[in-house]
Amino acid sequence: MASDHRSRQPGDRHGHQFQQAPHARWRGHRSTPVAIVTAIDPIPRDALTGGALLDRPGAVALRYEVDHETAALHRLVLDAGGVIEGERVDLEHPCVSCAMREDAVAVLGRLAADPRIDAILLAPPISADPSVVAGTLVPFQGRWHLSAAAAVLEAQHVIDDLLGDMTLAERGLQWAAEDERSVGEALAAQIEYSDLVIVEGGEGAEGGAAGLELVEHLRSPEQLLLTSMHVLEPRLLLGGALDHTGALRRRDVRHVQAYGGPTEHGTWTLDLASDRPFHPERFLEDIELLGAGRMRGRGRFWVPDRPGTICQWDGAGGQVSIGSVHESGRELPTTRLVITGIDPEDLPRVRDAFDRCLLTQEEWAAGLAPWLGAEDRLSPWLGERDARV
């Protein structure tokens, strides 16, 4: 399943000055735009925010950094001239949502009340999930509002970062000790949530074209993709309103889509779908064949001894997370995995493993009655099932 989704660029901003009145109106109120900027590398993040501050007089950046030795959080407020203020933030619990709720909400309110400030770039800690950041902040909008979410990355590192097997802890990007995510899982979350994706060096840098092609397969048509931060106009970050609901829908396994993209550099996407559930035993036997390798996979599945549960498949760089995420309601759930990879030998292996994991036509024809009271082999990952099953 491949369709050519071209990069959509707004054109060169040089020579064009975008003007926006201070404290734009949002839902009928004077409100300061706040753009969320995420990354897994501080260099492109800082380059983007620094350039935006130069392009937008009156803008400031609110940046959070983690001291990995002490797990302490440091807050910086910067303008085009440098650091305005810096402070250590002590939290009851070191997590992104706590940082946003306990500190950022108050600071955003204070900055938005300053008549000298007409825009804010919020840079949460490196590796932060923008859906968590935005989800925590959305209820507090008013004097300020979320205008966009941008993910910035370097094209020549995309493949290793997204499809490699390193964890955040191994890369030195782990915040809390219990954060066991891979680098690929963190980056995928940033790419798939953000309405603006900037892939620096996608045209010309060694390995950049292949990295850009991979991102094309992962981003939806409504997400704007830029291949250089030099074409980023301030209005793209600060001139709108973040569609948090739409971004969450992109990440919801109930609405997973295969976007496809160019294949010149060998990127492929499989859209694997069936009404049938996975056979629990065969699924456990073949889970490595289904998820190992340099791939990004998302989707949903169900098992016949849990017909009321929609389960999530979330994998990157050979690490896979599964769990119960939704109730299916009156209708039986369906199974759909969208897998994107770059190594041709992985494609037939994944497709065959998917087919083996499904109930056979004969097993499916027997219905769900044989599964009543069956041993729950997936409880270590899915939790204890409903006692009524």
Are 227 and 278 part of one and the same domain?
no
Enclosing domain of residue 90: 25-251
Q: Are strands 268-274 and 59-67 parallel, antiparallel or unpaired?
A: unpaired
10-residue mean pLDDT profile of the chain (389 residues): values are 32 30 55 97 95 95 85 90 92 80 94 96 95 96 97 95 92 79 94 96 75 96 93 93 96 95 96 98 96 96 95 92 91 96 97 98 96 88 67
- Answer yes or no: do 86 and 166 share one domain: yes
Number of neighbouring beta carbons within 10 Å of residue 7: 16
Query: What is the rounded distance in angstroms from the CA atom of residue 373 to the CA atom of residue 282?
Result: 18
Q: Say whether both 174 and 289 belong to one domain.
A: no
Distance CA 8, CA 21 (A): 27
- Say which residues have a Cβ less than 8 Å from residue 363's Cβ, sequence separation at least 6: 279
**For the chain, what is the domain count?**
2
Residues 172, 34 within the same domain: yes
Geometric angle at alpha carbon 54, from 48 and 56, rounded to 5°: 95
3-state class of 279 per DSSP? coil
The reported pLDDT for the residue numbered 15 is: 28
**Domain's final residue, options 216, 251, 286:** 251
pLDDT of the residue at 388: 47
Q: Are residues 225 and 285 in the same domain?
A: no
Phi, psi angle pair for 77, to nearest 5°:
-115, 125
Name which of 176, 217, 2, 193 is nearest 92 in CA terms: 176
Task: Judge if 343 and 236 occupy the same domain.
Answer: no
Query: Where do the H-state alpha helices sit in the chain?
Result: 42-55, 96-99, 105-112, 130-137, 155-163, 168-171, 183-193, 208-218, 234-238, 244-251, 280-291, 346-357, 361-365, 379-382
Are 367 and 235 part of one and the same domain? no
CA 255 and chain centroid, separation: 15
The last residue of one of the domains, among 251, 283, 306, is: 251
CATH code at position 308: 3.30.1220.10
Cα–Cα distance measured from residue 284 to residue 18, given in angstroms and rounded to the nearest whole number: 55
Name, in order, each residue with C-beta under 8 angstroms of 224's C-beta and a sequence gap of 6 or more.
8, 10, 195, 196, 197, 236
CATH number at residue 101: 3.40.50.300
Pair (239, 276) in one structural domain: no
Radius of gyration of the chain, Cα coordinates, nearest whole angstrom: 22
**Same domain as 246, residue 193:** yes
pLDDT value, residue 29 = 65
Q: Do the domain assignments include residue 326?
A: yes
Confirm whether 262 is domain-assigned: no
Cα distance between residue 276 and residue 206, in whole Å: 43
In the chain, beta strands by DSSP E:
25-26, 29-30, 32-38, 59-67, 72-79, 82-89, 119-123, 144-154, 196-200, 224-226, 268-274, 295-301, 309-316, 319-327, 335-341
| Cβ atoms of 48 and 153 closer than 8 Å | no
Bridge pairing between strands 335-341 and 295-301: antiparallel
Task: Confirm whether 4 is domain-assigned.
Answer: no
pLDDT, one tens digit per residue, over 140-160 is 999 999 999 999 999 999 999
Is residue 327 in some structural domain? yes
Q: What is the pLDDT of residues 261-319, one digit of tens each?
A: 999 999 999 999 999 999 999 999 999 999 999 999 999 999 999 999 999 999 998 88
Which strands, in side-by-side order, build the sheet including 224-226? Answer: 82-89, 72-79, 59-67, 119-123, 32-38, 144-154, 196-200, 224-226
* 258 belongs to a structural domain: no
Say if residue 110 is in the same domain as residue 241.
yes
